[in-house]
Amino acid sequence: DTEVTQTPKHLVMGMTNKKSLKCEQHMGHRAMYWYKQKAKKPPELMFVYSYEKLSINESVPSRFSPECPNSSLLNLHLHALQPEDSALYLCASSQGGTSEMSQETQYFGPGTRLLVL
């Protein structure tokens, strides 16, 4: 099973709402990632978790709050977002445990398309 699942598929929220995006994988991977992708652009890395610990935060605004409850789950909590945060949010996972995780194959989920009004 090489599947990464994400819920919800679509999300519309107002600037005062609080919502969460969820990601799950059952490949036994120990590294999980959040990316943001705007239309016609490549994915931009937001956060990396390694063995359930936050290892990389690419200077993402605090209105995005990641959480890794266990090795299979990754959440992204959203609060007080801006319209420019509207994008496709992608989760990915890789095996983990190597000294340079970037050298590992990453498996992406289908993404959550977020619209902030």
Of 82 and 102, the one with the shorter C-beta distance to other proteins is 102
Structure-derived torsion over alpha carbons of residues 114, 69, 42, 116, reported in degrees to the nearest 10: 20
Kindly state the smallest distance separating residue 67's Cβ from other proteins, in Å: 20
Q: Which is nearer to other proteins, 10 or 83 (CB)?
A: 10
Rg, the chain, Cα only: 13
For binding to other proteins (CB under 8 A), which residues are involved? Answer: 4, 6, 40-43, 45, 56, 90, 92, 100-103, 105-111
Q: What is the closest distance, in whole angstroms, from the C-beta atom of residue 52 to other proteins in the complex? A: 18
